[in-house]
Amino acid sequence: MIEKNAFDFLRLFFAVSIFFCHLAELSMNEELQFLLSIFSASISVKAFFVISGFLIAKSYAKSTSLKQYFIKRAKRILPAYVFVILLSTVILFFVSNLSAGQYFTNPNTFRYMGWNMVFMNFMQPCLPGVFDHNFSCSVNGALWTLKIEEGFYLLIPLLFYFFHKMKNKTVLLIVLYCCSIAYFQLLSNYFQLPILAKQLPGYLSYFSVGMLLYFNFQTVQKFNKPLLFGAILVFIIMLYQYNAYLFPLSLGLLVILLAYNLPFLNNFGKYGDFTYGIYIFHFPIIQVFKHFGLFEQYNPFLVGTMICFVTILMALFSWFFIEVKFLDRYKKKAIACK
């Protein structure tokens, strides 16, 4: 399989797209609403899941043991995640309308830390007295996707077990794909439960597309150009005439094929992967700026630029001082360069 790809660029692009969507939504500023017509947080999140399906299947296939696989996944997700939860809990005391005693003895402060530490963000999304007058009191609304990601990590070993038993990965993944979409349609359209529909079974179609393309990568590469053209065409049609059963496949093909057809972006991540930091830090930073009314007091584009600058600084800090210290492949590169 070709190792050179543009996944680092694509992930950054999707993270920035989500950032701009949240900037428009949380600021509630009319001048920034045009961002929602350019970027789509929903499509970007789904694209992330496709990439995860592709790369995590590859990671598991190359792991020497189940233990090594889980350690690698934990090292990638947990250090920065735990840091942002703890940092938010402590720092946001300064924007709370409660006193120090009230804040740090409030049960909801500890519920926030506890539930968020186990990825159950929806159980306690807010801190006491924090962002009460914002569009949403949620401290970090972007973190909801990580419990789905973690659920997929846990599901992967079980899927590989069935792959070995059935000897036909493609058929099982197609069945999984169709069942996932049926589940999503049933809960969102029939039972009117869109939030529940978006959880792991409902979004498993995007992971399964990524996995399907990984296991059939040689065939995909053989028909590279026609498939890319077809994926672009179908995806554009889907934007105007949505089809639940075709959209995940068209998006998945488009994302994976773009990753291997943008050679000028293959070395995009050579200085580091700042995507995760941007994703987990941007939401509370926007919330703080909104809390202090800066969008109303100053030029919203200037405020947005300031938020972007602070988010990038936090992403750089997260990468160089937290994330990279736990990633074996980057530690090996550092040793090799000495």
Average pLDDT of span 164-182: 90
- Does some domain include residue 272? no
Contact 23, 286 (CB under 8 A): yes
- Does some domain include residue 75? yes
Torsion of CA 226, 229, 233, 239, to 10 degrees: 120
Contact 295, 27 (CB under 8 A): yes
- Does some domain include residue 274? no
Residues above pLDDT 70, as percent of the chain = 96
pLDDT band at 331 (very low <50, low <70, confident <90, very high): low
Average pLDDT of span 246-268: 93
pLDDT band at 168 (very low <50, low <70, confident <90, very high): confident
Report the pLDDT value the prediction gives residue 285, as an integer from 0 to 100: 98
Residue 137, domain extent: 7-266+280-337
Residue at token pair 């250090």: 79
Average pLDDT of span 180-196: 90
The pTM (predicted TM-score) of the whole model is 0.93
Average pLDDT of span 234-243: 90
- Does some domain include residue 331? yes
Report the pLDDT value the prediction gives residue 169, as an integer from 0 to 100: 87
Number of compact structural domains in the chain: 1
Single-letter amino acid, residue 254: L
pLDDT band at 333 (very low <50, low <70, confident <90, very high): low
Report the pLDDT value the prediction gives residue 2, as an integer from 0 to 100: 53
Contact 39, 21 (CB under 8 A): yes
CA 91 from centroid of its chain's CA atoms? 24
pLDDT band at 329 (very low <50, low <70, confident <90, very high): low
- Does some domain include residue 273? no
Gap between the Cα atoms of 40 and 166, Å rounded: 38
User: Would you list the DSSP string of 60-118?
Assistant: HHH-SSHHHHHHHHHHHHHHHHHHHHHHHHHHGGGG-SS-HHHHHH-HHHHHHHHHHHT
Report the pLDDT value the prediction gives residue 319, as an integer from 0 to 100: 96
Report the interhelical angle of 200-215 vs 41-62 (nearest 10°).
50
Tell me how long the chain is: 338
Report the pLDDT value the prediction gives residue 271, as an integer from 0 to 100: 87
- Does some domain include residue 145? yes
User: What contacts 46, CB < 8 A, 6 or more positions away?
Assistant: 203, 206, 248, 251
279, 275, 278, 269: which is closest to 329 by C-alpha? Answer: 269
Residues above pLDDT 90, as percent of the chain = 82
Average pLDDT of span 40-67: 94
CA 150 from centroid of its chain's CA atoms? 11
- pLDDT tens string 274-299: 999 999 999 999 999 999 999 999 99
Report the pLDDT value the prediction gives residue 330, as an integer from 0 to 100: 54
Gap between the Cα atoms of 128 and 196, Å rounded: 25
Q: Is 71 exposed, middle or buried (0-12, 13-18, 19+ CB in 10 A)?
A: middle
Average pLDDT of span 149-168: 90
CA 279 from centroid of its chain's CA atoms? 7
* Greatest alpha-carbon span in the chain: 64
Determine which of 54-68, 189-203, 307-321 has the lowest per-residue pLDDT on average: 189-203
Report the pLDDT value the prediction gives residue 4, as an integer from 0 to 100: 86
Average pLDDT of span 46-59: 95
Average pLDDT of span 211-230: 92
pLDDT at 1 over 70: no
Gap between the Cα atoms of 18 and 41, Å rounded: 5
Determine which of 2-6, 89-93, 120-124, 186-190 has the lowest per-residue pLDDT on average: 2-6
296-332 CB burial, b ≥16 within 10 A, e <16: eeeebeebbeebbebbeebbeebbeebbbebbeeeee
Report the pLDDT value the prediction gives residue 336, as an integer from 0 to 100: 43
